[in-house]
Structure 1
């Protein structure tokens, strides 16, 4: 639900696409550092109880966390560019095609075979997604509130690929590898990934000559909200969950952000969903419910 606030807040921000990504990650670093410090204190206490030294992150863990950050930074840059050229519904739906990529790559790379219940949930969620995309394509031929474009849609599909990479790298680093006693904590993963992604976004923004500083109080509050609500809270909770649940389950549950984002877009910008979008949204929610841990299959 927190991540679902992302697209509306991006629309309210008045800086360049990559610059918005930088500020989002920059403002999320503070809470991430607090989280990482709390994890470190806890690990030190446990180490003292058993008479061992506190463990430091391995090179593999740091590298995987940095790769996750690069993927997330790429996702923000491409998604923000796509969002500027299409409707909120299109951007959220196509951006959430990451669920397909996560299932495919998770099966091939992480060997996480989907259960029968997850396959049913996936079919329901993607059926709802197809209904909403079809409705958006239909309205693109008329006078919609927000114009859509093929380029914008393709950019959001590319963003889905980046986000799938982020989820899979995060899932990998949240598992203990060979020779590692414990997985890297979610707080430290968030710090490393956020710092890496912020560096990528800032470098891209400077290189392409984007507007770096928000031009209004509304824009400033929007990027602060992106950092604290969408990233520190939303991505932080997702990172925490990726250490305890299969990537496929997380990717399906994250489809709830579509419902949240489209609802906020309707309230804030008048992008009212049609009956078809409503029906598709119900199917997405049904898929999310069916994907819960301990569900069918």
Structure 2
């Protein structure tokens, strides 16, 4: 990509377009995952393992080519990298399960509760002040998440206790690996950090493959490999790269707000490709979540721990 000077109008426009492109790519994750699990009959656990393993391979090869001096991690930082990898691996399992149980659109909206989780953690870990504005944002996000998760529609056929539990687990795990990423000391490029995080995530999920009965996926239609290639190439590697590029040209707070467009993309994709629709209650919840996140990311409100946040 061409180099532009940060702070200029061109940089702002370029960075904004890059964030929107990254959001559009991340929003495709739910589509790819649901198509793989339907066409290939692959379990959420197995898909999470192979996604993390493939991403590790790509980032490792890219890092070895970019960083001639190696991809070493300082010894004091290994526990943080390990925590990041463990939470990332479990997050992808929960994410895949959420796509299956709740649908791509709702699961993407539920992820938006992550900043509120980080807000609470920042209060506990870093003793950051919990202002009335932050509390109001937290209440908005929590209320919207409850509406989207279907707790008020318990009689609906699509709602299950497991689906509701997963709906709250996804943003919690998202916040967890984001916090570990923030705790990592500076001095590492995104490629190095992501390579080791995905590597540890795949190692954590490797023993769990025994629960699926086999390390190798079952026979799948050829089209399933195309969906998997899109999940890795478009929604993982390319999306991370484009968002990292954007952060060099935009303030992280603005990028974090723009990336909320992922919700709109996810709803559009789910309607176009999967036939998913949102009820009026769920639409209201989505709007409340977005409003709460934007308020939380306003200057002087957001905790430093969520700027910028790592992505799925």
Classify 1:280/1:80 alpha carbon distance in 2 versus 1 (closer, same or farther; 3 Å): same
Unaligned runs of 5+ residues in structure 1 are 45-53, 177-182
Q: 1:239 to 1:121 in 2, by over 3 A?
A: farther
The equivalent position to 2:82 in structure 1, one of 62, 66, 69, is 66
Question: Is the contact between residue 86 and residue 201 of structure 2 (CA under 8 Å) also seen in structure 1?
Answer: yes
CA–CA distance in structure 2, aligned partners of residues 287 and 158 of structure 1: 19
CA distance in 1, matches of 2:58, 2:112: 26
Structure-2 change in CA distance of 1:100 and 1:294 (3 Å): closer
**1:106 and 2:110 are equivalent in the alignment:** no
Alpha-carbon separation, structure 1, partners of 2:257 and 2:132: 14
TM-score by length of 2: 0.70
Q: Does 1:9 pair with 2:39? A: no
Asked if the contact 1:99/1:248 (under 8 Å) is kept, the reply is no
The 1-side partners of 2:277 and 2:43 are apart by 26
Q: Deviations over 1:94-116 (max 9, x none)?
A: 44433332111123224555777
CA distance in 1, matches of 2:168, 2:91: 10
- 2:181 is aligned with 1:170: yes
| C-alpha displacement of 1:6 | 1.6
Q: Does 1:141 align with 2:146?
A: no
TM-aligned CA deviation for residue 166 of structure 1: 0.7
Which string of whole-angstrom CA distances, capped at 9 and with x for unpartnered residues, describes residues 162-201 of structure 1?
Answer: 222111111111x34xxxxxx3221111000111112223
Give the equivalent residue in structure 2 for 1:153.
Answer: 164
Offset at residue 31 of structure 1 (A): 4.1
Kept in 1: contact 2:144–2:287 (CA 8 A):
yes
Structure 2: distance between partners of 1:190 and 1:75: 15
Considering only aligned residues, what root-mean-square deviation do their CA atoms show, in Å? 3.9
The separation in 2 between residues aligned to 1:17 and 1:55, in whole angstroms, is 30
Aligned counterpart for 2:228 among listed residues 216, 223, 232: 223
**Cα distance, 1:228 vs. partner?**
1.8
- 2:17 corresponds in structure 1 to none
3-state secondary structure, aligned to 1:258? helix
Once residues 246 and 286 of structure 1 are traced to their aligned partners in structure 2, the CA distance between those partners, rounded to angstroms, is 19
Name which of structure 1's ranges 210-219 and 116-125 shifts more when overlaid on structure 2: 116-125
How much has 1:133 moved relative to structure 2? 3.4
Name the CA shift for 1:67/1:148 in 2 (closer, same or farther; >3 Å): same
**SS, match of residue 101 in structure 2:** coil
Q: Kindly tell me: are residues 241 and 113 of structure 1, through their superposed partners in 2, closer, same or farther at Cα, counting changes over 3 Å?
A: farther
TM-score by length of structure 1 reads 0.73
Structure 2 residues without counterparts, runs of 5 or longer: 1-22, 303-312
Q: Give secondary structure in 1 for the equivalent of 2:277.
A: coil
Q: How many residues align?
A: 274
1:202 — aligned with what?
206
Q: In structure 1, what is the Cα distance between the partners aligned to 2:252 and 2:210?
A: 34
Greater mean deviation of Cα atoms: 248-257 or 92-101: 248-257
**Cα distance in structure 2, aligned partners of 1:247 and 1:108:** 23
Contact kept? 1:93, 1:258, Cα under 8 Å: yes
Residue number in structure 2 paired with 1:24: 51
